[in-house]
Structure 1
Amino acid sequence: MRRNPQLATVPLGVVEEQHNSQVLTSLSAAAAQAGLRVGQPVRDAHAMCEKLVTRARSQPAEAAFLTALQRWAGKFSPWVAPEGDDALVIDLTGCAHLFGGEESLLQVVQQDCEDLGLSVRMGLADTRGAAWALARFAGQSAGSHRTGDAIDQEARATRSRASKRRHWTKGGAAPVVTPGPAAGAHPISAPGQTYCALSPLPVAALRLDAEMTSQLSRLGIRRVGDLLGQPRAVLARRFGRGLVMRMDQAMGSAPEPVSPARAPAHFAVRMTLPDPIGLESDLLAGLDRLLPRLCESLEKKGRGARRVLFQAYRTDHDIQSVEVGLARAAREPAQIKPLIALKLGSIDAGFGIDMLRLEAVQTEPIHARTPVGHLEAGAAVSTRLASNTSMDDLIGRIGARVGLEAITRLKPASSHIPEKASTVHAAAWSTPFDGPWPDPPNPRPLLIWQPEPVQAPDSPKVPDVFRWRGQRLRAVRAIGPERIAPEWWLDDPNWRSGVRDYWSTETEDGQRLWLFYAHGHLMSSGWFCQGTYA
């Protein structure tokens, strides 16, 4: 919302397609106040709130943002783990006193989230399940599963209890009501008071699915306190062991430890220089010291670099950097250094460089290799040549100059249409085609492009004279025709002209063109040029 401050004041909802329907997956505070709910169809939401603004959900962006929040939450405790797709769980054992107590710690979290432009719901308890319940259901009362008029209906067997509950209106003592958290207060369960904190909450606070919650509500069990007082054997027999397990996790009978996510592997080395440098030879000397250290760390983790970033920090606080890509993962200095050396000339040293840094931005696992003896040396050399690593090294060298994305390779495709007979793949991220290339019935031109109109008589006979690209050409030889029909099961706009007759035509000035005559189906007929031979 900081990028667009206007969204902070209008109802905002995030939309995702589920079961061929657009539904709301998350809402802002203004949208929730308008009566919208998560899981509601978008068309119904717009009917209820005409000012609703929607945005498409991006799960990768949400995961990256939650990862960033997880790193930030590490300031409160080293035991931080994601809880679903929209929450974090933190084990604060032995950490709250560093912030002045539990209430002060939650106030710090609240203030930090406000500074980040985020709204946060928190809960603190002895167990992970109880904290989850307080964060989402603190202060909420258990509702009925019935819809329509809110009419209290009780069976005859419960009327005696109802009279006892209502006797305080005739002069008896009023029942004790546990108040919800005050405005601005944080839901904190005192140590050892988990039962009292969870009893007034709805049964959904035990992390139960909607179907089980509905079944319990129909039986009159709507609060956690009502459920905890039921015989466990009966609950397990009727609702399964999952319900009992959730109860045990919330009360602390079943362990549910916080397992923090492993920090991502980071491969970077740097070197601080006593005096500024500026010569390319000095940069190469520094690279010779950094590369072995980087490759050693990659080897310890069994990985190889695919993209390497070399940074030079100048004395004026400017950073000059070059980045290279490799056609295959590598961790040998001899394979990485030539690629970086090709781009060192683009670094402007300015008034001098006082620090060098080398980082493997993108890595991939490299499988261990089995060493061979003298008797198998010949077979090892043959295997190394057959693996075509020299081609990968060549692709890496050329990619360092023109970019790896500019180097492509073709692979055959299952189609008789000329322009669909092959697919284009990035050479650095694909393997060569293993097998014989399928031979077409007639030779194909070296270059194929989109059909270009040719000015010639509208006749299937090859024209003696025609105009193409502003040239007046005369045909001296033509081989054909090769008839190609469109893919009738597809509606391709480029083939709406119907059946084509292809001719390999040689002109008087030595050009060899690939012409075809379109017989016309949904479009007019005529002559076109689609390629040229070498």
Structure 2
Amino acid sequence: MKYRRILSVWFPRLGAERLLRQAPHLVEVPFAVVRESGQVQTLSSLSRAASRAGLYRDQPLRDAHAMCADLLTRPQQAHHEAAFLDALHRWAGRFSPRVAPEPPDALLLDLTGCAHLFGGEEALMARVAQDCTDMGLSVRMGAADTPGAAWALARHADTAPESHRNGDAIDQEARATRSRAGKRRHWERGGAAAPAVVTTPGRTGRIAAMGGTEAAISPLPIAALRVDAETVAQLSRVGLRRIGDLLDQPRAGLARRFGRPLLEQLDRAMGFVTEPLSPRNAPRRFATRLSFPDPIGLEEDMAAALDRMIPRLCIALKQQGYGARTLRLEAHRTDGIMQWVNVSLAAPSREADRIAPLMRMKLGDFEAGFGIDMLRLEAIRHEPLRETGPAGPAFSARRNGADMAMPDLIGRLGARIGLDAITRRHPGDSHIPEKGSVTLAAAWSEPAKDWPEPPRPRPVLLWRPEPVMAPDHPRLAETFRWRRREYRVTGRRGPERLSPEWWLDDPDWRSGQRDYWQVEVASGERLWLFYAHGWLMSSGWFCQGAFA
């Protein structure tokens, strides 16, 4: 029988150690990350020094300060922690091609067929532990045949089962009950658990023998099954504190009293029910940075740094076959403040000559303060980009030449006023005049190739219908009043009847069907007027546009 081998990698101090990597001088100081939970602030992640001071996760911040006056805290930044987990996801790809993130602080690796490349599971886990030590991260690992068992070993291999009873409650038991309890094995009355068939490479990981899932997880507390705390407390009240205690009980009784989710989690951990692993490719990251021996503060210095960083980024994009669509330049100042600007391109590109001018236009937005000691450039949005097309080099020449003139212009304008402010029109699929075209962002759309000919001439200018003072009759009078002016009709052409779209409730068309007329007036203007026959609104004459 072939077993799957799953490795659970848990980073119990991910939030705190992410920040300590940037401030290593705080490693020996009690440090914690604070999370907002409604109206209460709690500790979401702690350093080793904070744990040694007696603090614990999910502890209220007020209680933590009362216990440890020297505690330093920082607010939680969930999106930064998620990005850090993505970086660890890419790092874990060196050990297995199938890696699944477990937000907010763990990874699952499918080691099936991979462990022998590193000398076995123990050697692989030792390599993972060493890498994490080099990165300044705490890690706990568990390897087993199922994701549930690996998860349990990583988090609860060193956790003793807890009892809900205290000494006073035990003293109140009948003597006969205690007498019978004394004859049982010591681990069945709440003492040390029975030894498990688990190997231990160091103190950071536990390995369940292949096919030995039951022996490995039986001594673990029931919380290792990923069930809620209320169920764990109820089981503890009846003396079921270990996973092995559940395996000896009738399943029907457990399901009736504690619900089916408990048995489902037990079956997943034991492998009776297959628990799928959902690996995904680690997000691609294209970035480069440049540190300075002395802080800089001039635009010329930043431009010179960009001339070195942009080609490196373009080479990385070219090697992977991608083009940058949006770039972010970060400036890290000596006072700990980080500033950034985003620059978007109208078309994906990996050519330094096209990217550099746009980035230089944004350098004036930075405030150097006491100086900038590090710049970081990242392509936060990128798209696949082929260097050559079906036509070979000729295709590339067209793309690099005239075909890129408009995207370059849009990119330069967008760097000043924003790409969202640059739009283009495309034909719309509707007979309603105001829906005859749609407005699209120029940077994210291609030019319209063909404009269909309208069945009737359409005005050059179009606006929302404006009331016209004229008799309420389908036949326009010889004179009418519009925009506080009197007009005399010298010619008319029509009518063209249009009906509203019956499947839509458009407030502008609640006046019913319309009869459109091209009206020439004595002043030489050609207006587009219509008569609304009335439906939910009153009938009357309106002006909606003007011809050239």
Provide the C-alpha distance between the structure 1 equivalents of 2:468 and 2:335, rounded to a whole number of angstroms.
Answer: 61
Instruction: Name the aligned partner's letter for residue 532 of structure 2.
Output: A
Provide the C-alpha distance between the structure 2 equivalents of 1:269 and 1:64, rounded to a whole number of angstroms.
Answer: 18
Equivalent residue for 2:358, pick from 339, 344, 365 = 339
Shift of 1:454: 2.6
Shift of 1:246: 7.6
The CA deviation string for residues 40-84 of structure 1, in whole angstroms up to 9 with x for no partner, is: xxxxxxxxxxxxxxxxxxxxx999976655768999999795466
Secondary structure of residue in 1 paired with 2:125: coil
Instruction: Name the aligned partner's letter for residue 469 of structure 2.
Output: Q
Which residue is 1:438 aligned to? 452
Instruction: Name the aligned partner's letter for residue 328 of structure 1.
Output: A
Secondary structure of residue in 2 paired with 1:93: helix
Which residue is 1:93 aligned to? 125
Provide the C-alpha distance between the structure 1 equivalents of 2:196 and 2:94, rounded to a whole number of angstroms.
Answer: 22
Question: Are positions 1:272 and 2:292 aligned together?
Answer: yes
Alignment of 1:52-451 (within 5 A): 82=100, 88-89=106-107, 93-94=125-126, 126-127=144-145, 128-132=147-151, 191=198, 194-196=213-215, 198=217, 224=247, 247=270, 262=282, 264-272=284-292, 274=294, 276-280=296-300, 282-312=301-331, 321-348=340-367, 355-369=374-388, 379-380=394-395, 383-384=398-399, 388-434=403-449, 436-451=450-465
Q: 1:295–1:331: 8 Å Cα contact kept in structure 2?
A: yes
1:177 and 1:62, CA in 2 relative to 1: closer, same or farther beyond 3 A?
Answer: farther
Shift of 1:483: 0.9
Shift of 1:197: 5.6
1:94 and 1:472, CA in 2 relative to 1: closer, same or farther beyond 3 A?
Answer: same
Provide the C-alpha distance between the structure 2 equivalents of 1:383 and 1:62, rounded to a whole number of angstroms.
Answer: 45
Q: Which has the higher contact order (CA 8 A, sep 6+)?
A: 2
Q: Percent of counterpart pairs with the same letter? A: 43
TM-score (norm. length: structure 2): 0.56
TM-score (norm. length: structure 1): 0.57
The aligned length equals 405
Superposition RMSD in Å: 5.7
Secondary structure of residue in 2 paired with 1:363: strand
Q: 1:201–1:224: 8 Å Cα contact kept in structure 2?
A: no
1:224 and 1:484, CA in 2 relative to 1: closer, same or farther beyond 3 A?
Answer: same
Which residue is 2:468 aligned to? 454
Provide the C-alpha distance between the structure 2 equivalents of 1:314 and 1:472, rounded to a whole number of angstroms.
Answer: 66
Provide the C-alpha distance between the structure 2 equivalents of 1:531 and 1:187, rounded to a whole number of angstroms.
Answer: 87
Shift of 1:516: 1.3
Which residue is 1:517 aligned to? 531
Provide structure 1 residue ranges, at least 5 long, that are not aligned to the other structure.
10-27, 29-60, 99-107, 110-121, 141-167, 208-221, 229-242
Equivalent residue for 1:493, pick from 507, 510, 513 = 507
Provide the C-alpha distance between the structure 1 equivalents of 2:401 and 2:90, rounded to a whole number of angstroms.
Answer: 49
Provide the C-alpha distance between the structure 2 equivalents of 1:188 and 1:526, rounded to a whole number of angstroms.
Answer: 91
Shift of 1:490: 2.8
Provide structure 2 residue ranges, at least 5 long, that are not aligned to the other structure.
1-33, 43-57, 59-76, 110-123, 131-137, 163-176, 200-207, 227-244, 252-265
Instruction: Name the aligned partner's letter for residue 451 of structure 1.
Output: P
Secondary structure of residue in 1 paired with 2:429: coil
Shift of 1:466: 3.5
Which residue is 2:119 aligned to? none
1:315 and 1:524, CA in 2 relative to 1: closer, same or farther beyond 3 A?
Answer: same
Shift of 1:131: 3.7
1:408 and 1:471, CA in 2 relative to 1: closer, same or farther beyond 3 A?
Answer: same
Q: 2:331–2:340: 8 Å Cα contact kept in structure 1?
A: yes
Q: 1:124–1:189: 8 Å Cα contact kept in structure 2?
A: no
